[in-house]
Structure 1
Amino acid sequence: MAQTTSYPVLLYIYDLSRGMARQMSPAMLGKQIDGIWHTGIVVYGNEFFFGSGGIMSCPPSGTVLGDPDSMVDLGSTEVTEEIFMEHLTSLADSTFRGDKYNLLEHNCNTFSSEVAQFLTGNKIPSYITDLPNEVLSSPFGAFLRPLLASVSVNPGGNNVTGQQ
């Protein structure tokens, strides 16, 4: 009987606002938000994330963002790295091409949640994936929508598949 290997899967969470969202959101949005979240999935010794450059990877904490603000243990996977990389290539050719990036609707958190489900069957925490709708449901958020929709995030790293 073949032995299966299990790989830990972590979610790295970064606050792009570096604490400013927590301080300014009550005045600007009429409610508190704790951060503006960027996430990456750490598995097989690398951190994988999605931005305007497509699906990227780097050593854990290797982006310009430095160390994550927090980490969530998503469980473990028995998916091999080879199968995972084939899956990422498929995603990079379709759903997660760089030109499909949208800060509000199709971003790093969308990618992290989809990859977490593929690897572990678990989604990432909803407070992260629900944030854009929470912000946009405020009067000021609705005003910001056109500006935010034009913003792209690319924290560095190497393109995983060569796809943009």
Structure 2
Amino acid sequence: MARQLSPIMIGKQLDGIWHTGIVVHGAEFFYGGEGIANCTPGGTMLGEPNSIIDLGTTEVNEEIFMEYLSSLGESTYRGNQYHLFEWNCNTFSNEVAQFLTGSRIPAHITDLPAEVLSTPFGQALRPFLDSINVAPQGGNTFNGQYGQR
């Protein structure tokens, strides 16, 4: 839908409006309006991913990763801090990817909100979008543990 409507609405072609998560230690972790959540890979309410980007392997073991996620969930990635344009699933995925592998997620994903907001339509739409909390759900809220569903 973004591919079809973006030229008309914002004057430039967008291939999608991306939700990202990180798959590590057998589960997918993502951030949304309920905070950090996890599910089986591809198990968010958005369904199977359109694409998967291999960011490499990690030397971070499961115990250290869970401690790291717990720390993030208690501080910078609580549900009430979610913001569609400025603090979202892509911000989270980018930070976690760097922690795990030293790699970032692609810039065309992290730069998308600023690209949309730089258009007249984005500026007009921003007050409405700022007033709602549109965040992917469909996982288990992360509480320091995870399990496959």
**Scaled by the length of structure 2, what TM-score is found?**
0.93
1:74 equivalent in alignment to 2:45: no
Write the distance in 1 (CA, Å) between the matches of 2:78 and 2:133: 16
> Which residue of structure 2 lines up, in the alignment, with residue 160 of structure 1?
142
Structure with the higher fraction of residues in strand conformation: 1
Q: Which amino acid aligns with 1:61?
A: G
Q: How does 1:1-150 map to 2 (within 5 A)?
A: 20-149=1-130, 150=132
Q: Which amino acid aligns with 1:144?
A: L
Write the distance in 2 (CA, Å) between the matches of 1:129 and 1:26: 20
Return 5+ residue gaps in structure 2 as ranges: 145-149
**Scaled by the length of structure 1, what TM-score is found?**
0.85
- RMSD over aligned Cα atoms: 1.0
Q: CA deviation at 1:154?
A: 3.0
Write the distance in 2 (CA, Å) between the matches of 1:43 and 1:137: 34
Write the distance in 2 (CA, Å) between the matches of 1:106 and 1:62: 22
Return 5+ residue gaps in structure 1 as ranges: 1-19
Aligned sequence identity (%): 65
User: Does the Cα contact within 8 Å between 2:34 and 2:137 map onto a contact in 1?
Assistant: no
> Number of paired residues?
143
Q: Which amino acid aligns with 2:137?
A: P
